[in-house]
Amino acid sequence: MPAKARLLDRTVNSARNTAARVLLPALLAAAVLAPPARAQEVTISAAISTKDAVEEIGRGFMRSHPGVTLRYSFGSSGELQQQIEAGAPVDLFISASQRQMDELARRGLIRRETHRVFARNVLTVVTPADSRLELRRPTDLLEAGLGRIVVGNPKTVPAGQYAAESLRALGLWDKLQPRIVFAENVRQALDYVSRGEVDAGFVYTTDAATRPGRVREAFRPAQDTYGPILYPVAVLRDAGEPALAEAFLDRLVGPEGQAVLKRFGFEPPPAAARR
C-alpha cells in the first residue's frame, strides 16, 4: 500500500477510535439515565356479576392495545364504591346499580360526560340442582320444609337490594327474616346455593347460567316488584389512564362488547336509559 494511503487509513482509524471513546460512554450514560417506558395499566372496578363478560371483553381489548394491561377488582358494587371513595386508584367503575354510581357522581368522583348505561339483568331464585323442593312462586319460600335463603347484603349488594325490594313489595320480607342469611356479593350467594349450604337464593339470571348442573332456576320474581336492574359505567375523575379507560368503555358499550354481553345472558338497556 502506498505511504499516502497508509497514512490516510491510519487517520481514519484514529478518528473512529476517538469517536468511539467519546460517544460510547455518552450513549451508555444516556441509556442509564433515560427513564424506562411507563407501563400502561388500566384498573377496572366491576360488579362481580359482570366478571366473565368483562374479562372476555378485556382480552379482546388488550389484543387490540399492545402493551396495555388491565387490572381488575371484582366485588359488590357497594364495596367497590366505598373503596373508590376511600381513594383507591381506579380508572373505570362498572356497577350493577345506578345507586352506587349516583353516589359517586354526587361526590364529584366520576367524569359525568363518560357515564353510560350498557346492560340490564333479571332477578331469579335458584335452588341446588339436586333439591327436591318445588318452588314455583314467592309464597313458596314460606313453606315449612324450606330452610335458609341467601340474599346479598342489601347495604352493599345490588342483587340483595333488588331482592329485598321485591320481597317487601310482596309482603314477604319481614316474614322471611328468620330464614335469610346475607352474602357479601351475588357470586357468594350463588356459591352457597351450588354447594347446598342453603335451600334457595336470589341471584341474577346471568349468574345462574354460570353454574349449569349445580343450580337450577326455581322462579323469577315479577319484574314489577323491583326497579330495573341497569348497569352503568363511567371513567373516574382521578383516573391515571383516562383515555384508555374511555377506550375500554367505548368497547363495552359498542357492538363488540354488546355481543359478548349477549352471549353471557345480559340484555340491552332501554334506549332512554343509555345515557
Segment-wise mean pLDDT, segments of 10 residues, the chain, 275 residues: 46 46 44 53 98 98 96 97 97 97 97 97 97 94 93 98 98 97 98 98 97 96 97 97 98 97 95 68
Which grid cell is 118?
350498557
User: What was the pLDDT predicted at 28?
Assistant: 41
User: What was the pLDDT predicted at 271?
Assistant: 77
User: What was the pLDDT predicted at 4?
Assistant: 45
Q: Which CA distances in Å does 60 have to 16, 63, 66, 109?
A: 50, 5, 11, 28
Cβ contact 249:233 at 8 Å: yes
User: What was the pLDDT predicted at 270?
Assistant: 86
Burial of 80 (0-12, 13-18, 19+ CB in 10 A): buried
Strand order through the sheet with 92-94: 68-75, 40-47, 92-94, 229-235, 116-121
User: What was the pLDDT predicted at 56?
Assistant: 98
Please spell the DSSP secondary structure of 159-191, one letter per residue.
HHHHHHHHHHHTT-HHHHGGGEEEESSHHHHHH
User: What was the pLDDT predicted at 273?
Assistant: 67
State whether residue 147 is helix, strand or coil.
Answer: coil
Go through the domains of the chain in sequence order and give each one's CATH number.
40-120+228-273 (3.40.190.10), 123-219 (3.40.190.10)
pTM: predicted TM-score of the whole model, two decimal places? 0.84
